[in-house]
Structure 1
Amino acid sequence: MAFEDYNNEDDRIKDKLTQKTWNEIRTNDSWAIFKIMSEFVNGYESMARIGPCVSIFGSARTKPEDPYYLLAERIAYKISKAGYGVITGGGPGIMEAGNKGAHHGGGTSVGLNIELPFEQHFNPYIDKDKNLNFDYFFVRKVMFVKYSQGFVVMPGGFGTLDELFEAVTLIQTKKIGKFPIILVGTSFWSGLLDWIKATIIEKHHNANPEDLNLIKLVDTEDEVVEVLDNFYKKYNLSPNF
């Protein structure tokens, strides 16, 4: 059952606690596999034609006059001028800023949108043939990770943290290559990094000290491009535009 089929939150909870008949399982759960499969197939085929880009994550709630919106726009513009395409979540806020900067920079501008009951709608700066829509968060996240040359993480909320730690975990566990993860905004992110170092690593030993080296903390668009360019020079590669 999709989120829009529920009348209220109580219905969602009751549905999870209700023992379903075999016919209901086959109708609702088993057949959902085919919808999930179709999203993967469409996503893979579409993104394979576009090629890898740099993913920009951040809050959908950031207003156009916010300094971080303007910074994300400048970052995407510089990224596109350096030869990198840009992927965002396709919605408003930081996502819109990312697509806007890429659009004005003449670069590839991709939007991976998710259907939500609030906050989310396509922004107008996505390339016409690079606008993908998803029902499932986990399918969308696969597309972000599989086709990303790097991750630029602007200030955001729980969704942004989810995308950040997904990328860190997959790199830490060597499930994907060690692509750059760039946090933008020292004042926003330094508290989180300090907590990871002091509590997760030093106090509880739940991660290795070198895991923090996977993350770069910067404040400007020039620093973002420098991190990306240094990474590709190190491996004698060039952007996939």
Structure 2
Amino acid sequence: MTDPHPPKNIFRHAREEAKVANQPTSSPQTEDQAYRLAFQDMDFLLREDLRPVRFQLELMKPEVLMNEANIASTFVFYGSARIPEPEKAEALIAAAATDSQRKIAERLKAKAKYYDEARRLARMASRVQPDPDGRRQFVVCSGGGPSIMEAANRGACDEGQESIGLNIVLPHEQLPNAYVTPHLSFQFHYFSLRKMHFLIRARAVAIFPGGFGTFDEGFELLTLIQTRKIKPVPIVFFGREFWERVVNFEALVEEGVISADDLKLFRFVETAEEAWDYVCEHYEPGSALAAK
């Protein structure tokens, strides 16, 4: 016996098995779809009754890769895919063909400042050092698309740090923005599993002005904390004027459908500094995180 240590695994690697199975053979039996290895048979994997398996795979793949990347916690950024970078806001107005389009473009331009705030907040989060065990903390995580999502990944890139992008298959293809770290760029089919991965490691969440998707993600998070399905994390809503215009939070209290204490689950902020101070207050009084 040349090696005194027992092998970790006595089974051949799946790649080897697949290679053997794919050796050229031709007979009515081997040519039939039924003969394919199950994990190589896409027609089989895409069957309706295999949906639970696809759920499991979509849950496991990002989990395995993020564990391998030593990511312990994330700072999640939600927000619109339509708010322009400040330098591109004027072009949006110039492209407007009607008065209605111009008004919308002007409103989007007014919110362009949040691109810069998201970028600055991401830079702050990306300066947090790994813990004593080498696990990375407050890694920036976005939906991987343009606008606010791009700003978040860009801020991490400014600091020379990696960041996560959780993209989703859409009818109109949304490619990952150029600032997402390639080996942390994931694509999802199921919104539910994507939202789960947003929150598995989330230790702080910034919610910028946005539409249906932002509402869906943000209010599900509030619901999970309200119902004690997850522990409270610091949540900041950027842009009080926007949020109070589109959601009458006080009316929800007055109507009795939420309690006054539910409004304490989040804080309105306008700047990256306000947001970061709130996160530091939540985790480490005395702004130890800010000193990182």
TM-score band, normalised by shorter chain? 0.7 to 0.9
Matches within 5 A, 1:146-185: 146-185=200-239
Distance 1:82 1:224 in 2: 15
3-state SS in 2 of match to 1:132: strand
TM-score, structure 1 length as denominator? 0.81
Q: Distance in 1 between matches of 2:51 and 2:153?
A: 31
* C-alpha deviation, 1:166, in angstroms: 1.0
Once the 2 structures are TM-superposed, how far is the Cα of residue 190 of structure 1 from its aligned partner? 2.4
Letter in 1 for 2:54: K
The corresponding residue for 1:220 is: 271
Q: Secondary structure at the match of 1:50?
A: coil
Matched, 1:197 2:218: no
Percent of matched pairs sharing the same residue: 35
**Aligned residue in 1 for 2:23:** none
Aligned residue type for 2:126: S
Q: Which of 154, 162, 176 lines up with 1:122 in the alignment?
A: 176
Stretches of structure 2 that go unaligned for 5 or more consecutive residues are 1-44, 87-111, 130-137
Partner of 1:36: 55
Q: Identify which of structures 1 and 2 has the higher relative contact order when contacts are C-alpha pairs closer than 8 Å and 6+ apart.
A: 1
SS of the equivalent of 1:124 reads coil
- Aligned-residue CA RMSD in angstroms? 2.4
Deviations 1:92-132 (A, max 9, x none): 11101100011102333111111111262101111232111
Q: Deviations over 1:167-198 (max 9, x none)?
A: 101111111110011001122112345x1222
Q: Tell whether the 8 Å contact from 1:47 to 1:143 is kept in structure 2 after alignment.
A: no
Give the residue type in structure 2 aligned to 1:227. Y
Larger Rg belongs to: 2
CA offsets 1:125-163 (integer angstroms, 9 cap, x no match): 112321111111000000001110111001111000101
In the other structure, the counterpart of 2:140 is: 86
CA shift, 1:206, in A, is 1.1
Task: Find the residue that maps to 1:87 and give its secondary structure.
Answer: strand
CA contact (8 A) 1:114 1:137 kept: yes
Query: CA separation of 1:142/1:160 partners in 2, compared to 1, >3 Å: closer, same or farther?
Result: same
Judge conservation of contact 1:89–1:95 (CA < 8 Å) in 2.
yes
Cα distance in 2 for partners of 1:134, 1:113 equals: 6
Paired with 1:185 and 1:119, the residues of 2 have a C-alpha distance of: 29
Distance in 2 between the 1:210 and 1:107 partners?
37
Task: Specify the alignment match of 2:65 in structure 1.
Answer: 46
Partner SS, residue 179 of structure 2: coil
Provide the C-alpha distance between the structure 1 equivalents of 2:124 and 2:289, rounded to a whole number of angstroms: 15
Q: Spell out structure 1 runs of 4+ moving beyond 3 A.
A: 236-239
Paired amino acid for 2:63: Y
The answer to whether the Cα contact below 8 Å between 1:43 and 1:132 also exists between their aligned partners in 2 is yes
Contact preservation (8 Å) 1:114, 1:134: yes
- After TM superposition, give the deviation of residue 35 of structure 1 in Å: 1.3
**How high is the TM-score relative to the length of structure 2?**
0.67
Q: In the alignment, is residue 60 of structure 1 matched against residue 81 of structure 2?
A: yes
Query: What is the deviation of 1:81?
Result: 2.5
Alpha-carbon distance between aligned partners in 2 of 1:107 and 1:80, rounded to the nearest angstrom: 6
